[in-house]
Amino acid sequence: MKGEAAHTTIDTKKYNTRKNILQGIEVFSEHYNLCGKIDLFDTESGQLTERKREIKTIYDGYVFQVYAQCHALREMGYKVKSIVLHDLIHNKNYSVQLPEENKSMQDKFESLIKEMNTYDMMNSSFEANPQKCNNCIYSNLCDTALC
């Protein structure tokens, strides 16, 4: 709920009125077969910003999220020159290397996408991670017996 509240101004496009700031737009990457929504993209500076309520650790998932957004924006014709994760509580920015600047992270991103696109639920095993389950915002949608 706190995360949803933090995104209200983005989702209603009331965070910024400048024309060069895209906010809350849906993006799609045909190459990676991914869709999503960005928080902020400055078309003049080329900065993509993903806002998080609080950042204690920069998880791979955060980086994968902005990589997906970056690739989608580029496929849509935008020039992404920098990526920032913004911690709302501490009002602090964390720079994230662009995909072409961090080959190992880009390779991990592509490996995960490939895994997701080839996942066979009927013939695969799944082992839940209780630590992740306890902190997951989607835990109410899952079978808690798995954790």
pLDDT, tens digit (0-9, with 9 covering 90-100), for 43-82 = 999 999 999 999 999 999 999 999 999 999 999 999 999 9
CA 111 centroid distance within chain:
16
**pTM for the model:** 0.80
CA dihedral of residues 94, 98, 99, 101 (deg, nearest 10): -110
pLDDT, tens digit (0-9, with 9 covering 90-100), for 3-55 = 555 555 555 555 566 788 999 999 999 999 999 999 999 999 999 999 999 99
Closest C-alpha among 44, 28, 32 to residue 106: 32
